Amino acid sequence: MFWLTCLLVATFGFVHLEELFAQISPTQRQVIYSRDSFLALLLNHIYLVSIAAIISICVGVISAIFVTRSYGKEFLPLVSQVASMGQTFPPIAVLALSVPLLGFGTLPTILALTLYGLLPIVRNTLAGIQGVNPAVLESAKGMGMSSIQVLWRVELPLSSTVILSGIRTSITINIATAAIGSTIGASTLGDPVISGLVNGNTAYVIQGAILIGLLALTTDSFLERLQQKLIVKHSLM
């Protein structure tokens, strides 16, 4: 709640701090970014990261489940390598290559964020599922559970905290990475940062950076709290 309060105060309060930001960039006539409202930029930033996160989670978790089954183990190296390439390939390069196909704005940004967010989710899902005690799995099968029931009732619940840790890392990284979408016309909290860099306005850069940082801290804190609840729940089971 603390970080969320700070985020909201900054979002609605920056417009009233012109004198303060004027001290940072005294040579600039305009020191509060006004091309779009900070609230609109924040909401669109959250939208882009959320869509990319949903896609990354679905693709990452399903891929990891597939390669941990007997019929998909031979694809494990391939899935791991593809996920690794997604994060090692610079997002700005993904944007440059996808713009001719998808145009400017939202779609290339979501594609870049999706690829960049896959690796932590795939790795943690693999680690979580592979870390389930084999004796527990044998007991579940001995009770007459089918493979699907073992997956949904045993493997995924027991590995949920590890999977959530990967999701937490992926989303937090992408909150910062999403700012580069502003270079190709996507509306994000990177707008004031890019505009400030282009025009030499440090006040703009600081405003965008503060909002991105507070959003990342708010999201990470929320996911950490959720992860702790899952840990407590499993310890009581």
Q: What is the rounded distance in angstroms from the CA atom of residue 126 to the CA atom of residue 78? A: 13
* pLDDT for the residue numbered 61: 92
* CB 180 within 8 Å of CB 136: no
Asked whether residue 134 is assigned to any structural domain, the reply reads: yes
* 8-state DSSP, 97: H
Number of domains in the chain: 1
Q: For residue 71, what is the enclosing H or E element?
A: none
Q: What is the rounded distance in angstroms from the CA atom of residue 219 to the CA atom of residue 171? A: 8
Q: What is the mean pLDDT of the chain?
A: 86
Asked whether residue 31 is assigned to any structural domain, the reply reads: no
Q: Whole-prediction pTM value? A: 0.87
**23-49 mean pLDDT:** 89
Q: Please state, for a pLDDT cut of 90, what percent of the chain lies above it.
A: 30
Q: What is the rounded distance in angstroms from the CA atom of residue 119 to the CA atom of residue 226? A: 21
In the chain, alpha helices (H): 2-13, 18-24, 38-67, 76-88, 91-102, 106-116, 118-130, 134-142, 147-150, 156-177, 190-199, 202-236
Asked whether residue 24 is assigned to any structural domain, the reply reads: no
Q: What is the rounded distance in angstroms from the CA atom of residue 118 to the CA atom of residue 110? A: 12
- The tens digit of pLDDT for each residue in 131-185 reads 888 888 888 888 888 888 888 888 888 888 889 999 999 999 899 888 888 888 8
Asked whether residue 28 is assigned to any structural domain, the reply reads: no
Asked whether residue 30 is assigned to any structural domain, the reply reads: no
| Confidence check: pLDDT of 187 > 70 | yes
- The tens digit of pLDDT for each residue in 39-76 reads 999 999 999 999 999 999 999 999 888 888 878 788 87
Give the structural domain span for 109: 2-9+36-236
When pLDDT is cut at 50, 70 and 90, the band that residue 235 belongs to is: low
The CATH code of the domain that includes 148 is 1.10.3720.10
**104-114 mean pLDDT:** 87
When pLDDT is cut at 50, 70 and 90, the band that residue 211 belongs to is: very high
Q: What is the rounded distance in angstroms from the CA atom of residue 115 to the CA atom of residue 149? A: 30
Asked whether residue 27 is assigned to any structural domain, the reply reads: no
Q: What is the rounded distance in angstroms from the CA atom of residue 137 to the CA atom of residue 229? A: 24
* pLDDT for the residue numbered 87: 66
* pLDDT for the residue numbered 17: 87
Asked whether residue 181 is assigned to any structural domain, the reply reads: yes
Asked whether residue 81 is assigned to any structural domain, the reply reads: yes
